[in-house]
């Protein structure tokens, strides 16, 4: 057996023993040994994509939803460089990813050899661990090296701080099996499990939060153990301020209008917390981030003490676990929050329901409300997730994801496809037109590859809608060219080019009907950027005026 085939066979086998079930492959020559080994491995679900960036974000979506490492494989050269945005997102959002890049052997590097770049530590500090595996050789000890390496890569990607691991694999020719099955030592590993069994360390001691009724639970992106902390906050009489992708906006204590409440200085002054406990990484609402500074005690709960989210440098204590004590007594604190939240929500809903016309925030609100139980929603990291944050009513039974680690526009179609495949149930994605167009290649799925039940709901406002809500909009002359970036792409033609069903959503009363399809499909909702900016201003003004009237300010 040639060394390339031996390494690929052993590596794939060992990762499968560790628990690998999904691999995304971008085809190439130098990675041929890995591709053939994956094709032969019946325990792995193989996904093939022609675009490396789309492939890597597909792997990200699969891993993000499943919580398990997913491998992504490519050939050498710029193919590996195209993985970089997904690696960065996986690093920032704590998604376990196994990045396997094929490479030229050392004697071909720096010589002008075809398709060769410097791939050693290619992703810099954006990996939990990177390893230059070395050119495989037929000599005793290689099997133990390769299997222990695969076990280590799997577990480093998974715990204690999930994230991407990079293995750079140099292959000499021949790159395909040569018909010889002999090797200097047995290729088999331990049939009962991985070569190296890793026992995770027990979490650190539990931090006991000071007992108080004037506490707040904040839940942001990537939060873990959500149900436990929501239940504890409810028993303590705390309001729950949850971003949609924190998946904690449910139950009687969950608020839906904290973005507007915390924009009213008089409300904030009367609702200074003694303790704030945060899970995950909050970052959608500037008023909420500012509010974190108001707490006398700010406890950040994080799975790993190696990194913790503290965007406004307000954390006073950081722990892997915290206990929120039950406190009996006056519930005026919670009642004040809930009543003000209801007043603000009703004001926002009234603005959105003034007419049946299609609008971006109403689409976000009504889409979440209409989704069947058990559904998944991936929201683009720019306006869609913010619209959800400002309009979504509390509800149970759905899962919401967003690529908010680096909050990029990259790979969102592919991420949605991957997440939908891992979810295994009805799935939706709410994307802007630029995010959709940025990853059109995510729609290229081969006839032998798995296809999701996924509706891509695309808000088409002919450009970058979020910029209309930012200070840049005050410069009308350059705005449209350098910020608005309008386009003339016909999304129906894009759908037709990929053989996908396409529906145009004309009015809000047609939403339920366009959601009833099956398979991968595109729903377009056309809106106007200027009208959207004006609507957001009316929502803010109505909500804040209603809150001021309620508190007598």
Q: pLDDT tens for residues 225-278?
A: 999 999 999 999 999 999 999 999 999 999 999 999 999 999 999 999 999 999
Alpha-carbon distance of 226 to 396, in angstroms, equals: 13
Q: By the 8 A CB rule, do 90 and 163 touch?
A: yes
CA 421 to chain centre: 14
State the Cα–Cα distance between residues 128 and 395, nearest whole angstrom. 35
Identify the pLDDT of residue 202: 67
Q: Please tell me the predicted confidence (pLDDT) of residue 498.
A: 97
Chain centroid to Cα 330, Å, comes to 39
Round to whole Å and give the CA distance between 327 and 208.
Answer: 13
Cα distances from 493 to residues 431, 452, 498, 499, 527, in angstroms, run: 17, 21, 9, 10, 19
What gap in Å lies between CA 13 and CA 144, rounded to an integer?
A: 13
Q: Are 101 and 164 in contact (CB under 8 A)?
A: no
Per-residue tokens: 425? 């149930």
Spatial separation of the C-alpha atoms in residues 95 and 411, rounded to whole Å: 15
Question: Whats the size of the chain, residue-wise?
Answer: 553
Q: The tokens 């603000």 sit on which residue?
A: 344
- What's the distance, Cα to Cα, between the start and end of the chain in Å? 80
Neighbours of 517 (CB within 10 A): 14
CA–CA distance from 63 to each of 98, 332, 454 (Å)?
10, 42, 17
Among 51, 4, 314, smallest CA distance to 176 is for 4
* Of 226, 248, 213, residue with least CA distance to 326: 213
Taken in order 114, 120, 122, 127, is the CA torsion positive or negative? positive
Quick one: pLDDT at residue 114? 87
CB 94 within 8 A of CB 83: no
Q: Which residues of the chain have pLDDT under 50?
A: none
Render 31-88 in DSSP notation, one character per residue. THHHHHHHHH-TTSEEEE-SSHHHHHHHHHHHHHHH-S-EEEEE-STHHHHTTHHHHH
Contacts of 226-231 with C-beta under 8 Å, sequence gap 24+, read 226/279, 229/277, 229/279, 229/301, 229/322, 229/324, 230/254
Does residue 504 sit in helix, strand or coil?
A: strand
Q: Are 388 and 368 in contact (CB under 8 A)?
A: yes
Q: Cβ distance 454 to 417 under 8 Å?
A: yes
Residue bearing tokens 């299997």: 147
How far out from the chain centre does Cα 356 lie? Answer: 32
Q: Which residues contact 249 (CB under 8 A, 6 or more apart)?
A: 240, 242, 243, 256, 392, 394, 395
Torsion of CA 450, 164, 306, 15, to 10 degrees: 80
- What pLDDT is stored for residue 462 in this prediction? 86
Verify cis geometry, omega within 30 degrees of 0, for the bond prior to 177: no
Beta-strand pair 502-505/322-323: unpaired
Amino acid 19: pLDDT: 95
Rounded to 5 degrees, what are φ and ψ at 343?
-60, -45
Rounded to whole angstroms, the Cα distance separating 548 from 544 reads: 6
The alpha-helical segments, DSSP class H, found in 74-130 are: 78-81, 84-93
Q: Which residues contact 192 (CB under 8 A, 6 or more apart)?
A: none
CB-based contact 16:43 (threshold 8 Å)? yes
Q: Which tokens sit at 472?
A: 């840049």
CA distance 102 to 28: 9
DSSP state of 366: H
Q: What is the pLDDT of residue 475?
A: 82
Instruction: Tell me the C-alpha distance between 45 and 91, whole Å.
Output: 24
């Amino acid at each position: 057996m040639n060394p390339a085939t031996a390494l690929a066979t052993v590596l794939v086998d060992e990762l499968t023993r560790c628990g690998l079930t999904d691999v995304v492959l971008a085809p190439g020559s130098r990675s041929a040994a890995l591709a053939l080994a994956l094709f032969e491995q019946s325990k792995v679900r193989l996904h093939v994509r022609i675009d490396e960036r789309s492939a890597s974000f597909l792997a990200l979506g699969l891993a993000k939803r499943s919580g398990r490492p997913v491998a992504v494989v490519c050939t050498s050269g710029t193919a590996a460089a195209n993985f970089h945005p997904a690696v960065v997102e996986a690093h920032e959002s704590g998604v376990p990813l196994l990045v396997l890049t094929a490479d030229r052997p050392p004697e071909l590097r720096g010589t002008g050899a075809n398709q060769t770049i410097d791939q050693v530590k290619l992703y810099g500090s954006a990996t939990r661990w990177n390893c230059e595996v070395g050119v495989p050789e037929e000599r005793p000890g290689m099997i133990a090296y390769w299997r222990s390496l695969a076990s280590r890569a799997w577990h480093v990607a998974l715990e204690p701080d999930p994230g991407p691991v990079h293995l750079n694999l140099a292959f000499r020719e021949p790159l395909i099996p040569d018909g010889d099955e002999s090797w200097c030592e047995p290729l088999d590993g331990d049939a009962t499990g991985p070569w190296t069994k890793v026992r995770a360390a027990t979490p650190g001691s539990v931090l006991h939060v000071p007992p108080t009724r004037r506490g707040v639970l904040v839940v942001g992106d990537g939060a873990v153990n959500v149900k436990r902390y929501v239940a504890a906050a409810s028993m303590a009489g705390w309001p729950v301020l949850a971003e949609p992708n924190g998946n904690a906006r449910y139950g009687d204590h969950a608020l839906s209008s904290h973005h507007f409440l915390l924009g009213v200085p008089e409300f904030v002054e009367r609702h200074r917390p003694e303790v704030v406990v945060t899970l995950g990484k909050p970052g959608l609402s500037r008023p909420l981030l500012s509010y974190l500074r108001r707490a006398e005690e700010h406890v950040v709960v994080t799975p790993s003490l190696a990194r913790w989210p503290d965007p406004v440098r307000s954390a006073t204590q950081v722990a892997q676990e915290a206990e929120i004590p039950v406190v009996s007594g006056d519930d005026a604190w919670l009642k004040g929050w809930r009543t003000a939240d209801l007043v603000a929500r009703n004001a926002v809903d009234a603005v959105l329901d003034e007419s049946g016309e299609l609008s971006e925030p109403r689409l976000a609100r009504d889409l979440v409300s209409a989704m069947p139980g058990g559904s998944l929603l991936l929201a683009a990291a720019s306006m869609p997730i913010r619209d959800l944050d400002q309009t979504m009513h509390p509800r149970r039974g759905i899962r919401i994801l967003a690529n908010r680690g680096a909050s990029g526009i990259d790979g969102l179609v592919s991420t949605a496809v991957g997440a939908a495949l891992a979810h295994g149930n009805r799935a939706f994605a709410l994307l802007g037109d630029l995010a959709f167009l940025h990853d059109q290649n995510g729609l290229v799925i081969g006839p032998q590859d798995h296809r999701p039940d996924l509706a891509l709901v695309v808000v088409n406002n002919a450009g970058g809608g979020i910029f209309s809500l930012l200070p840049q909009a005050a410069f009308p002359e350059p705005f449209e060219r350098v910020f608005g970036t309008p386009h003339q792409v016909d999304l129906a033609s894009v759908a037709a080019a990929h053989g996908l069903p396409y529906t145009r959503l004309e009015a809000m009363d047609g939403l339920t009907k366009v959601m009833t399809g099956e398979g991968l499909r595109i729903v377009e909702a056309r809106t106007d950027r200027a009208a959207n900016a004006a609507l957001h201003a009316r929502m803010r003004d109505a909500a804040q005026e209603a809150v001021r009237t309620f508190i007598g300010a």
